[in-house]
Every structure is written in C-alpha cells, then in structure tokens.
Amino acid sequence: MARRRQAVTIKHVAADAGVSLQTVSRVINNEANVRPEMREKVQASIDKLGYVPSIAAQRMSGSRSYLILALNDRERTIADWRARQGTDWVDQMLLGGMLECAEHGYRLIFELVDTHNDHVERELGAAIAALQPDGAILTPPHSDNPQILETLTRHNVPFARIGAQVHKEGLPDGIMVSMDDEGGARTATRHLIGLGHKRIGFISGPSEYRLSAKRVDGWQAEMDAAGLPTEGLLEAGDFTYASGVRAARALLASLDRPSAIIASNDQMALATVEIADELGLAIPSDLSLVSFDNTPLVRFTRPALTAVDQPIAETTATAVRSLIAAQKGEDVAGAVILPMGFEVRGSTGPAAACGA
C-alpha cells in the first residue's frame, strides 16, 4: 500500500531556510520588518517544498488572528431553518463573506447570538476569547444592539455593521455597510406607478430592523411625490409567512382594496399570493405584486414575482474588505451604501387590467 505523503508544515520551511518559525510567519504575512534577502530565502524554501500556509502559521507572528467573526440572530435563523421556507439570506451572507476572506488569507467564523438574550455579553465574550477575531460583522438586528457594540468595543474588536444606523450612545459607529433599502422601495413603487397603479399597498418588516423603516420611507416618498394616498395602505409584518398572511388579508379585505402590493420580503410576498388566490384575485390581472429579497422561490411561482434584488453577498464581502483594509492601516469609508437591483417578472402588470 502506498504511504501517505507527509504534509509540509511551517517547521519544515523554517528548517530548510535555517530561520525561526516567527520569521517564516512574518514572510507569510508579508510584514515589513523582514530583510529582503531573508524574505527571498524563506520564499525559496516555501516554493521548493510546496508549502501552503495555515491559519496557525499566519497567527504565529502574533499581530493577527486571520479570523473574521460574523454574528447572526439565533432565534430567526433557527426558525427559518426549521420552517424550511427557502430563504437564502444566510447562505448569501456566508458565501460572500467566506469567498472574500479567502481572497485575503482569512477565514469567516459564523456564530448565532440571541439579540434579546440577557446573556448576550457572556455568549459573545466567550466567542471572542476563544477565537480572538480580527474583526466582527454584525447583521440586523445585532448591528444596532448596544450590548453587542459595547462588548466588542471593550474587547477591542473592530466591527462592521450591516444595515445599521448612526449610534448615539458614545460608542464607535464602526464601519457601516448598508443596502439602499429606501432606494429599492422607491424603485418598486415607481415601477407600479408607471403601470398606472394609484392604490399601492405596502407590507413592512418588524420595527426593530432599521431597514423596515427605510423601505416604508421609500414607498411613502414616491407615493407623496406622485400625489397618491397612503392612508389605510400600510400593514406591519415581521418577515414571517404568517405575518404576511395577516397583513395581506387586511389589505385585500378592504372595499377599496389596493391594485398593487409591495411586500418587504419574499415570505410575506408568497403569503400575499396565497391570500389573493383565496379571495379569487388573479396575479397580475387583479393584483400586481412586488417582493424584496429575490430568493430562488419567487422565480418559480406562477407567475414569477417581480422583486427588488438585495446584493447580500456583496454587502458582506464589502464589510470583510473594509475590516481587513482598516487593520492594515488603510483609509476606509465610514459608511457604504450599495444599490439594489430590480427584476421585472410576470407578477406586475398595467393597472387598467384590474380596473384600478
């Protein structure tokens, strides 16, 4: 039986080059305090031996851990997973962050933390102690949680806040990376107004998410600009299918029902499809519908749903790039807003078709 080839380690490189492990680590990390001739010597040994650096070898220099910690809401993440409702927000977040980390020799570590848990400081503190991350990425609602921001600040962990608002309690704002939620809602509303719709309903997300208010603001601003009414056309959801059912039923049960609805995520949009069918309303001839998220499910409904497309992967990748650049001492923008896309499909049509 063929013998398994022994993996080349940093110790082999150090022995071949005749230098210390720390010197090899400094060369791997491209640190400035290494003489050119020493760098060339170590690199020659790396090339000769075919050595591939590991996280442990990179961390040996002591200046970085090469780990980025991503925090997501435990309760909602587990609920979505158990419901198996097809959401891919977490998948996109992880993919964008992991691929970007790999480009820079980093690794992304994913942790679930309850934003309302009384033990959030202990949970997060334990993760920081175990991993010693070079930075943290916070997703909503963690990105606006004072306890989490305080804990990271106390442990000197830089953070990037996705979808956050400016903090007012004396803590660093960190790096703020957001998708243009208001702009996405404006685009969706303009699309429907352009089709002749005058009564456009809106199903919002939960108030603890800053993006929920931003989306309502975008819808409200476009309706106001067009001189169209909004009274009685706004219903609150919480991003769950059940809340979408309640909100859609409230909007569509009205005698003066909307001819179009914008739902703040795909789950609530799919719930609206169910209620429309229950009430005998055809999409789009009786009701036009626009969703946020653009997860795979909305492409396979009949008709496929027009949707605001969130650049989730690119948002996380931007947060990773910013954290790594800041650690290297490079200038980093304190706030970045990424534009949203818009996919027109068969769920929106002219208002004349539904008598609006």
Domain 182-309+342-354 is classified in which CATH homologous superfamily?
Response regulator (3.40.50.2300)
Determine the Cα–Cα distance for residues 248 and 295; give it in Å rounded to an integer: 20
Which class is 67-180+312-340 in CATH?
alpha beta
Domain 10-59 is classified in which CATH homologous superfamily?
lambda repressor-like DNA-binding domains (1.10.260.40)
Looking at residue 32, its pLDDT comes to 65
Mean pLDDT by 10 residues, the chain (356 residues): 59 84 76 80 83 60 77 80 72 90 88 78 84 90 86 91 73 86 97 97 90 94 97 94 96 93 95 95 96 87 93 93 88 87 95 58
pTM of the full predicted structure?
0.75
List the 107-113 sheet strands across, edge first: 107-113, 67-73, 135-138, 159-162, 175-179, 335-338
Q: CATH 1.10.260.40: which residues of the chain?
A: 10-59
Instruction: Report angle CA 311, 315, 320 to the nearest 5 degrees.
Output: 150
Element holding 83 (H helix, E strand)? helix 74-83
- Structural contact between residues 99 and 140, judged by C-beta atoms closer than 8 angstroms: no
**How many C-beta atoms surround the C-beta of residue 168 within 10 A?**
8
* Angle between helices 74-83 and 89-103 in degrees, nearest 10: 120
Determine the Cα–Cα distance for residues 70 and 198; give it in Å rounded to an integer: 42
- Structural contact between residues 214 and 207, judged by C-beta atoms closer than 8 angstroms: no
Q: CATH 3.40.50.2300: which residues of the chain?
A: 67-180+312-340, 182-309+342-354
